[in-house]
A and B are shown apart, each in its own frame.
Chain A
């Protein structure tokens, strides 16, 4: 088998890119700022999948691609490689999160209480069509409480472990520089838990939802209930050259634990991501819960999940099928022609009919 070298597409390629970009028009700082302020949840989703926290760059990538999410994530992942790694921050601990939302569907009276935070969970979803008739939608302001909520909320899992409801395995202390890192190492199976959780953190939201939903519907080993869901801000704690550890600022993070009741107690699955993206972390935690003991090739098995939810690899493999595969089809055409020629022999076609058939096949585009 060999590829065929061709030419003649250069001008078409240049014009096709121009045609694509003509549809998007000029991109300036105002448009980027507007994307950032109008679509914060989309920006968050993109940052999680790109595994790069930078809202302004994420908004720019969205503006530049016209909202094609896979192109957006690809742009950000590619741009990330131009930046040096300056440091590894101190690990984010749940108990230090500046918490905006923290709920449990499994336990009503959790330590610290249930705080809904920003959500549409209990709202009617009604399209504000009056906006299109010239009446702006003005959201009602929040009526703030007299006293603030505690900035930090206790860990439900820690409480459950203390109660003996959840297993509390001894943890291995790993220096931040020694944490397995998928951006520098290949994903191999069985994967270390650090790779699994990093993969899920940067996974495609739609991908983990699809597979997680299959587990929720019964194609998994365990039915999830949200043990704890958190939307929060985490401090990025870095080290000053003189050794002082300080916060260089905050980033938004989401985190979910899902629970399954078992004979020995409660078993938990976990996931987290950059940005606020509840669907993703609940689905990913469900996959973490279901992975142990899953059959090879099942939709919740570790290798199946992690290989098929990587957004850049999955979308890249899909779109590569649009690119020329001429060699494959040339040989296929030859095979079809041979088969048809052989089939044609027993029917003893008239010479005129045979000539017509050959001409029809020859009308197909040269591959």
Chain B
């Protein structure tokens, strides 16, 4: 996974309040932003059948998308599962900030959110592990 993919993946699942607050702080530094897209829409999700290897469409996922451009021409993009346009826009603002110049504030935020998401996943998986069958055959 590239650094950019890691950043975007964390932003897409970051806690909304913190992400939006970060974007509010970053926005004044970006000049006049052009909003190219701010909308909800559908992403079709294919899956691969494990029997014959056929890719098929599982169904569609509602997403919110934001696409913005800075006066310098750099672009920022956000897409998140769900309908929260503000979250997607906040993600795009952070992505644009990183595209212009990685701010230490962003790096700290991403690191903190990555740790939080990892901790959440770990808690989930500890509960899952508790349901493992330790099978004994007589």
Contacts and interface: CB of A to CB of B under 8 A. Distances in A.
Nearest to A50: B59
For chain B, which range describes its interface: under 10, 10 to 19, 20 to 34, or 35 or more residues? 35 or more
Interface in B1-41: 2, 4-5, 8-9, 12-13, 39-41
Nearest to A103: B133
Contacts of A157: 50-51
A145 interface: yes
A213 to B, nearest CB: 21
A48 B61 CA distance: 11
Contacts of B63: 86, 236, 238, 248-249
Contact of B46 (A57, A88, A166, A169): A88
A142 interface: yes
A84 B42 contact: yes
B79 A57 contact: no
Given A98-B121, A144-B130, A88 B61 contact: no
A246 B4 contact: yes
Contacts of A85: 41-44, 60
A83 B4 contact: no
Interface of A: 47-48, 50-54, 56-57, 80, 83-94, 98-101, 108-109, 113-119, 142-151, 155, 157-158, 166, 169-172, 174, 176, 179-183, 193-198, 201-202, 228, 234-236, 238, 240-242, 244-251, 253, 255, 257, 268-270, 272-274, 288
B58 A92 contact: yes
Interface in B43-78: 43-63, 65, 67, 75, 77
Nearest to B123: A144
A37 to B, nearest CB: 16
Interface of A is mostly: mixed
Q: Which of A180, A193, A196 has the most CB of B within 10 A?
A: A193
A101 B130 CA distance: 11
B50 A158 contact: yes
Interface string B77-117: 10111110000000000010000000000000000000000
Contacts of A155: 50
B3 to A, nearest CB: 9
Contact of B131 (A88, A91, A117): A117
Given A53-B45, A89-B44, A247-B12, 9 more contacts: A52-B42, A52-B59, A53-B81, A86-B43, A88-B44, A94-B50, A148-B121, A194-B56, A253-B47
Contact of A83 (B42, B56, B80): B42
